[in-house]
Structure 1
Amino acid sequence: MFQTCGAEKFLLSTFAAGLAVAASPLAAQPRQGAGTRDGASINGVDQAHQIDCEGRPAEVSGSGNRIDFVGDCPGLTVNGVDNQISIILPPGADLRVSGVDNVVSWRIRGNGKPRISVQGVDNQVRPLR
Structure 2
Amino acid sequence: MRYRNMVFLGLAPAALLGAMPAQAQADFTGAGEESELDCNGGAASIEGASNVMTITGACTSLTITGAGNRVTIDLAKVSRIRVVGASNEIYWRAPGTAKPRLSVQGAGNRISRAR
TMscore range, shorter length: 0.7 to 0.9
Could you tell me which of 88, 93, 99 is aligned with 2:85? Answer: 99
Tell me which residue corresponds to 1:44.
Answer: 30
What SS does structure 1 have at the residue aligned with 2:78?
coil
Match of 1:34 in 2: none
Deviation at 1:50, TM superposition (A): 1.3
Match of 1:110 among 83, 90, 96: 96
Q: Where has structure 1 moved over 2 Å in runs of 4 or more? A: none
> What is the aligned partner in structure 2 of residue 71 from structure 1?
57
* Aligned partners of 1:96 and 1:118 also within 8 Å: yes
More strand per residue: 2
Is residue 2:47 matched to residue 1:58? no
- The share of aligned pairs that are identical, in percent, is 35
Aligned-residue offset at 1:110 = 2.8
- Deviation for aligned residue 1:81: 0.7
Cα deviation for residue 91 of structure 1 reads 2.5
TM-score, length basis structure 2:
0.74
Distance 2:78 2:106 in 1: 22
8 Å CA contact 1:98–1:123 kept in 2: the answer is: no
Change (3 A) 1:118 1:76: same
Contact 1:41 1:59 in 2 (8 A): yes
- Pairs aligned (count): 91
CA distance in 2, matches of 1:72, 1:98: 22
Specify the code of the residue in structure 2 equivalent to 1:85.
Answer: V
- Say whether residues 1:127 and 2:113 are aligned partners: yes
Inter-partner Cα distance in structure 2 for 1:53 and 1:42: 11
Distance in 2 separating the partners of 1:91 and 1:97: 19
CA RMSD, aligned part only? 1.2
| Unaligned 5+ runs, structure 2 | 1-24
